[in-house]
Amino acid sequence: MGDPILREAAPEMSIEELRSPETQRLIDDLIETRRAAGGAGLAATQIGELKRIAVVEVDEHTRYAYKPLVPLTVIVNPVIEPLSDEQLLINEGCLSVPDLRGDVRRHLRIHVRYFDRNGDEGEQVVEGLTAGTFQHETDHLDGVLFLDRVTDPRSFSTWEQFDRHGQEEFLRRVAPYTRDAA
């Protein structure tokens, strides 16, 4: 955080630009960097590229052991539509916000439309913590960090203090949406 690019909105990407070798290399880099860092997703702006591309992937090595597994999903020009007024208070972290977590309200169920890395249209309905991850990554493409959406600053904690004091209550709150419940 503090790098101005994280506060910029990335412009829509054309299919031609998406299919270029440069963009395909960037996508490979995003996938590899996410895997090395252990986040649940990563947006191009987080690696210094103002492009409307993010990846979402939750595998066994992701640093959020309670999040349901999500197969590798490359989202280009994603558009999110909430499917209800229901919200879920999710404790989030971010690879661009070192050692800080906080509570953020996210839409519980969303429809997400995007282009995949080949330029083919994709769509999914997702809910719970996974819906939160898609909203978090799409926010990055608009220059928004989870910090901006924390309504109670008292919910901020380091990862260590969250594990010690916050995790148990959080996991009770989101129990229907955890990996174990899935």
Q: 137 an active-site residue?
A: yes
- The stretch near Ni ion (CB under 5 A) out of 52-60, 91-99, 105-113, 122-130 is 91-99
Nearer to Ni ion, 88 or 94 (CB): 94
Which residue in the list 57, 92, 127, 137 is annotated as catalytic?
137
* Shortest separation between residue 15's beta carbon and Ni ion, angstroms: 26
* Shortest Å, Cβ 175 to Ni ion: 24
Q: Site for Ni ion (CB under 5 A): which residue of 10, 30, 94, 174?
A: 94
3-state class (DSSP) for residue 93:
strand
Phi and psi based region of residue 20 (left: phi greater than 0; alpha: psi -120 to 50; beta: remaining): beta
Provide, rounded to whole angstroms, the least separation between the CB of residue 30 and Ni ion. 12
Per-residue binding string, Ni ion, 51-90, x by CB under 5 A, is ----------------------------------------
Least Å from the CB of residue 19 to Ni ion: 26
Beta-bridge mates of residue 127:
109
Of 11-19, 82-90, 93-101, 120-128, which part binds Ni ion (CB under 5 A)?
93-101
Task: Give the C-alpha separation, 132 to 110, whole Å.
Answer: 9
Long-range contacts of residues 147-156, Cβ cutoff 8 Å, at least 24 apart? 147/1, 147/97, 147/100, 147/102, 149/104, 149/105, 150/102, 150/103, 150/104, 151/103, 151/105, 152/103, 153/102, 155/91, 155/102, 155/103, 156/100, 156/101, 156/102
Max Cα–Cα distance, the chain, nearest Å: 49
Comparing every residue's Cβ against Ni ion, the nearest one is 94
Residues that bind Ni ion (CB under 5 A): 94
Active site residues: 137
